[in-house]
Amino acid sequence: MRTRLAGPLVISLLSFVASPLHGQIALGPEISLAEDVDVGIGVVMEAPLSSVYEQLEFGGHFTLYFPDGGDYWELDGDVRYLFPLEEEHSLLPYVLAGIAIGHSSWDYETPGGGGSGSDTEVALRIGGGFKVPMARMTPFAELGLGVGDLPDFTLRGGLTFPVG
């Protein structure tokens, strides 16, 4: 039940946070592949951090995965360094570092009945990727490596669309 409520809650929170950045943020769908938890779908939000440093950007992800035997979701927040390129290029590479929170829940059967359990882990996520800015959308792909108890790697791809 909690997993079903987490998505709408995160989307509501993102829209609340996004309102002061109207016209500067981008939202979109993503698909992920992560070690041990298989395929997931989610939402990504990007916002510039140019008030801190021109080449920095915030990236936030909420992803639902579909492993066998339970539910798993991740909430990630990272800071990206966008490599400055001297000429106009269609490919914009970046590196990232941030925090990931992963939550798993499961039900189990025993000879005397059954039950359920859950676990939440926090880890450092580092990685890199690229995006291809276009007029109305920006496709992206990235690889994140978990440092801690979360999946060792996460491969993501998706599209973002400017809001506003």
Question: Over the stretch 129-145, which tens digit does the pLDDT of each residue have?
Answer: 999 999 899 999 999 99
**Region class of 127: left (phi > 0), else alpha (psi between -120 and 50), else beta:** left
Question: Which residues make Cβ contacts (< 8 Å) with residue 78, sequence separation at least 6?
Answer: 58, 59, 60, 96, 97, 98, 99, 125, 144
Average pLDDT over residues 137-156: 89
Higher pLDDT, 88 or 84: 84
Token couple for 138: 């920006």
- Rounded CA-CA distance 62/41 in Å is 8
**Digit-coded pLDDT (tens) for 86-114:** 777 789 999 999 999 999 888 777 777 77
Token couple for 156: 């993501």
pLDDT band at 17 (very low <50, low <70, confident <90, very high): very low
pLDDT of residue 73: 93
pTM: 0.79
pLDDT of residue 97: 97
Residue with tokens 């509501």: 12
**Digit-coded pLDDT (tens) for 24-69:** 899 999 999 988 778 999 999 999 998 898 899 999 999 999 888 7
pLDDT of residue 50: 86
Average pLDDT over residues 3-29: 59
Task: Name the architecture of domain 2-16+29-162.
Answer: Beta Barrel (2.40)
